[in-house]
């Protein structure tokens, strides 16, 4: 498995982030609009043609495979294709993960694209986000891998603004146990506990500031 | 929680599906292109403006909230906004779930947008898909809810073509235990076991052909 070194300054990372963030946000907006639009079929066909033309332009120069996982010499992680936090990935709710005293915390808003039961977040989306957050909490010395994770759904999670938290409860050798929750304004809706494994290659390596999931 | 009756014929469902499927597929293509493009910043800014114009056109007539979960009088499910199977949701890999003798089965391809570690499916995406598939296997008498689910990651799941399976192993009252796997060409990469709950309101109700997640 290969991590790619992007030999650029921290300022250049920030500048590129500012270029891609509004583009990705606009694609997120498009995903939502395609779910919720009520325009007629001619307008839908027209939209499809215009989107296809943009795709062709963007693909005129593109990398061969997926984005991969990159980091700078200063160990800033650039998991910009990542399914949960990718700056260039419109599927990702693009969690902004904050490091707090006892672990990590993120506040985010989930709209129509994350729906399962009517008006509620898909249980699988809760699982995806918690897997990432717990992995992130466990990854303070380099990216960890999920060994096992158990999710417990206490009640439905409504679409809207939510908070997720994760923290490490135990550490033995390369094994870490992490716990976490998703909450709405009324309290916890879903909780998780998982076992995360630090790859042998990562022990004593640089503390890159991300989790690759 | 409200399910919406779409009072339309099965032919009309099929016709609408044929209208939305290519549009959603083109948006999926755009999501992939934004992750992988290497065009310059002027071209990115131009793409963003063109996408924003399409969003404005689609939003000129739109429903207020999320899509919700709809079904026809013939009990064909139209979870078209669903995060995993939504015909109108470009975030969904749009699993085509086949009912087989002992449960459900789906073959699908995951590209750059589902990446976690380099070249591999994000562990959280595996969790999301298995939650949905197990729920689907358990939902043969109406949508079930996940109570708990445990994922075990045996080895990395490569991006590419994958198969997922799920089946019910036990049923007691409104509680069902389901198991499932994700496999690549070499065998199982990730397995899951979960407890699913049939809502009181669904017992004896119509067997709508979907799981809402």
Percent of chain B surpassing pLDDT 70? 94
Percent of chain A surpassing pLDDT 90? 78
pLDDT grade for B33, boundaries at 50, 70 and 90: very high
**Which of B26, B52, B82 lies at the smallest CB-CB distance from A26?**
B52
Q: Do B39 and A19 touch (CB under 8 A)?
A: no
pLDDT grade for A85, boundaries at 50, 70 and 90: very high
| Mean pLDDT along residues B47-68 | 97
| Mean pLDDT along residues A139-145 | 81
Q: For residue B212, what pLDDT is reported?
A: 54
Q: Do B36 and A67 touch (CB under 8 A)?
A: yes
In degrees and rounded to multiples of 5, residue A118 shows phi and psi of -50, 120
Does residue A185 come out as left (phi exceeding 0), alpha (psi in the -120 to 50 range) or beta? Answer: alpha
pLDDT grade for B204, boundaries at 50, 70 and 90: low
Confidence check: pLDDT of B205 > 80: no
CA separation for the pair A93, A144 (Å, rounded): 21
pLDDT grade for A202, boundaries at 50, 70 and 90: low
The better pLDDT of the pair A168, A4 is held by A168
Percent of chain A surpassing pLDDT 70? 94
ipTM: 0.93
Confidence check: pLDDT of B10 > 70: yes
The better pLDDT of the pair A14, B204 is held by A14
To 10 degrees, what angle do helices A41-58 and B10-36 make? 20
Q: Give chain A's domains with CATH numbers.
A: 1-94 (no CATH), 96-202 (3.10.129.10)
Q: For residue A94, what pLDDT is reported?
A: 78
Confidence check: pLDDT of B67 > 70: yes
Q: For residue B1, what pLDDT is reported?
A: 61
In degrees and rounded to multiples of 5, residue A6 shows phi and psi of -100, 110
Chain B residues lying within 8 Å of A55, measured CB to CB: 26, 29-30, 33
pLDDT grade for B30, boundaries at 50, 70 and 90: very high
> Within a 13 Å sphere around the CA of B133, how many CA atoms are in the beta-carbon half?
34
CA distance A72 to chain B (A): 16
Confidence check: pLDDT of B211 > 60: no
pLDDT grade for B101, boundaries at 50, 70 and 90: confident
Between chain A and chain B, the number of residue pairs with CB atoms below 8 A apart is 339
Tell me how crowded residue B201 is: count the other CB atoms within 10 A of its CB.
10
Confidence check: pLDDT of A104 > 60: yes
Q: Do A26 and B39 touch (CB under 8 A)?
A: no
CA distance B135 to chain A (A): 10
- Taking only the tens place, the pLDDT of each residue in B115-163 is 999 999 999 999 999 999 999 999 887 778 899 999 999 999 999 999 9
The better pLDDT of the pair A53, B79 is held by A53
Chain A residues lying within 8 Å of B35, measured CB to CB: 66-67, 80-81, 86, 88-89
Tokens of B72: 């026809």
Q: Do A113 and B132 touch (CB under 8 A)?
A: no
| Mean pLDDT along residues B10-28 | 96
Q: For residue B76, what pLDDT is reported?
A: 82
On whether the CB atoms of residues B26 and A45 are closer than 8 A, the answer is: no
- Taking only the tens place, the pLDDT of each residue in A48-81 is 999 999 999 999 999 999 999 898 888 888 899 9
On whether the CB atoms of residues B84 and B212 are closer than 8 A, the answer is: no
- Mean pLDDT, rounded, of chain A: 92
Confidence check: pLDDT of B207 > 80: no
């Amino acid at each position: 498995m290969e991590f790619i070194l992007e030999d650029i300054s921290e300022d250049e990372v920030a500048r590129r982030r500012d270029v891609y963030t509004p583009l990705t946000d606009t694609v997120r907006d498009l995903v939502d609009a395609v779910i919720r639009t009520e325009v007629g079929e001619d307008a839908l066909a027209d939209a499809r043609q215009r989107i296809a033309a943009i795709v062709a332009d963007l693909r005129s120069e593109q990398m061969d495979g997926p984005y991969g996982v990159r980091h700078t010499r200063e160990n800033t992680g650039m998991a910009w294709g990542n399914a949960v936090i990718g700056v260039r990935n419109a599927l990702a709710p693009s969690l902004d993960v904050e490091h707090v005293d006892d672990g990590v915390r993120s506040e985010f808003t989930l709209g129509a694209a994350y729906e399962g039961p009517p008006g509620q977040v898909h249980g699988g989306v809760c699982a995806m986000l918690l897997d990432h957050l717990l992995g992130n909490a466990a990854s303070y010395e380099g990216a960890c891998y999920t060994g096992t994770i158990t999710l417990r759904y206490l009640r439905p999670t409504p679409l809207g603004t939510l908070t997720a938290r994760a923290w490490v409860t135990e550490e033995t050798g390369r094994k870490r146990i992490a716990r976490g929750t998703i909450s709405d304004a009324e309290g916890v809706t879903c909780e998780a506990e998982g076992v995360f494994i630090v790859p042998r290659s990562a022990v004593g390596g640089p503390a890159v500031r991300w989790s690759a999931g």
